[in-house]
Amino acid sequence: MDKVFTSAEVANHNTENSCWVALYGKVYDVTHMLSSHPGGAQAILRVSGRDATEDFDPIHPSDTLESLQSALIGSLFLDEESSDATQTKDTPDEIDDNSLLNLEEIEKVATSVISKKAWAYYYSAADDKITKDFNTQVYRSLLLRPRVFVDCRRCNAETELLGWKVGLPIYVSPTAMARLGHPSGEAGIAEACGAFGALQIIANNSSLSPEQVVANAFPTQVFGWQLYVQLDRRASEAMLARVNRLDPIKFVVLTLDAPVSGKREDDERINVQVNPAGSVSTQLFAGTDPSLTWHETLEWLSQHTKKPIILKGLQTHEDVAIAARYTPLVQAVILSNHGGRSLDTAPPAVHTLLEVRKYSPHVFKKMEVWVDGGIRRGTDVVKALCLGAKAVGIGRPALWGLAAGGVQGVERTLQILLDETKTCMRLLGATTVNDLGPHYINSRIVEQQIYQASAIIEHEGAVVCKGKL
């Protein structure tokens, strides 16, 4: 263990006969592991003979390292220029609460300090980013309708999600690779969420294990865990078994809008150059199962967890209506287009929300409807809630906050959104989130753009919803 290798020494071991990799400052001889690697020998050989941390990190649960202990042969001598390209460019000074006024400014700071690789992964979205942009713009087309002469001394943003109390109706969406933005990673986000009573959904590809993320949680803190079903179902079942044992994790979020990866060109452009194994997204999606179907998958899932199930990535009123038939197994849906990262020109969640209001309003009584994508202002939060959402998720903003200032940066992000949300509620004349409703919104412009249903929707022989209502 006290042996120290230079980069040059490691570089000599990049063949099937002698295959070394450096990870997190340590050097491993993984020659004997080539044949049994789930991703194939080639995936290791491509990164052998050098520091492979940046390639290894985002696609391996952090406890993978433990299983490598037997291969550890020493430390890497760190010269100044070593892992330069993928490091954050600059360590941000302690974030100044007063000077960063909104989420856009936080994103700017994060962009200036983060590595290009991380920026490309966080920022990127599918194709021409039409949906990513639309996610934000659509909220600007919704006008608010403030009422006067309402006593707004008290204003309470607390709510309940699936029966658990949370401090605000804003949760952190599952996003992978938080450690690339800041060493505290998803645990740092958890610490910030704890301070606000905010719910957090841990990504399937979290850069820390779920056990690590929830380790220091408050007793009342609520988590969800996101599942991408793996081609190797036993791997998913093993993860579910671990998650089942973690009490702070209250439900399982099955993501459905990305059976294959969208085409995220910023990610591809930058990270393919760094790493011949492909863009970060490509690597993350390598083992995901694209064969899921309603009955089979939910049946399988219900056998491996008793936690409530949330379906994420629904984008049509038809699918929402079908999901409602699976209650109580399914207790909520998240209307999402994956932050515009999956299919470009997919509709913003607000469109789907309005579709559901129009064609399948009964589902609001059967289950909770959450939304994400494009939330950047407290007014956005309030609008989604007025239109029937029970909660709204933030993905990138949490990562930008983390990258800009660690735990404190995420706290600043949540504080800004909470303050803006409450100011908006007060100015509307609403004192609790339950007061919020469509009478506070002029959604006419957006209503004129949503899908005009023209057919009766059936699912497994039953009429699920009718068009032309």
The window from 35-43, 124-132, 233-241, 385-393 that contacts a second copy (CB under 8 A) reads 124-132
The residues, ordered by sequence, that sit 6+ positions from 67 with a Cβ below 8 Å of its Cβ are none
The two tokens of residue 347 are 């509709």
Report residue 292 CA to chain centroid gap: 20
Q: Which of residues 70-109 bind a second copy (CB under 8 A)?
A: 98-99, 101-102
Contact between 424 and a second copy by CB under 8 A: the answer reads yes
The window from 21-29, 60-68, 110-118, 422-430 that contacts a second copy (CB under 8 A) reads 422-430
* Least CB distance to a second copy at residue 151 (A): 4
Q: Report the sign of the C-alpha dihedral through residues 90, 91, 93, 96, in that order.
A: positive
Closer Cβ to a second copy, 68 or 144, answer by number = 144
CB 14 within 8 A of CB 86: no
User: Binding-site residue total for a second copy (CB under 8 A)?
Assistant: 74
The verdict on whether 37 is a catalytic residue reads: no
Contact between 431 and a second copy by CB under 8 A: the answer reads no
The two tokens of residue 129 are 């980013």
Which of 73, 130, 195, 286 contacts a second copy by CB under 8 A? Answer: 130
Catalytic residue among 28, 123, 171, 228: 228
Q: Which of residues 324-383 bind a second copy (CB under 8 A)?
A: 337, 342-347, 351, 377, 379
* Least CB distance to a second copy at residue 110 (A): 19
What per-residue string of b and e applies to 137-148 under the rule 16 or more CB within 10 Å gives b? Answer: ebbebbeeeeee
Catalytic residue among 51, 57, 257, 344: 257
The window from 78-86, 116-124, 149-157, 160-168 that contacts a second copy (CB under 8 A) reads 149-157
The verdict on whether 338 is a catalytic residue reads: yes
* Least CB distance to a second copy at residue 247 (A): 29
Q: At what angle do helices 185-196 and 396-428 cross, to 10 degrees?
A: 20
Which of 124, 200, 221, 316 contacts a second copy by CB under 8 A? Answer: 316
Neighbours of 410 (CB within 10 A): 35
Written in H, E and C, the secondary structure of 289-314 is CCCCCHHHHHHHHHHHCCCCEEEEEE
CB 104 within 8 A of CB 375: no
User: If we measure between CA atoms, which residue out of 198, 200, 96, 138 comes closest to residue 353?
Assistant: 138
The verdict on whether 171 is a catalytic residue reads: no
Contact between 423 and a second copy by CB under 8 A: the answer reads yes
Q: Where are the beta strands (DSSP E) in 208-277?
A: 223-227, 249-255
Tell me, residue by residue from 211 to 230, as one string, x for binding to a second copy by CB under 8 A and - for no binding: --------------------
Main-chain dihedrals φ then ψ at residue 421, nearest 5 degrees: -60, -45
Which of 10, 311, 356, 417 contacts a second copy by CB under 8 A? Answer: 311
Report residue 198 CA to chain centroid gap: 15
* Least CB distance to a second copy at residue 233 (A): 14
Closer Cβ to a second copy, 284 or 428, answer by number = 428
CA 10 – CA 15 distance, rounded (Å): 11
Catalytic residues: 228, 257, 338
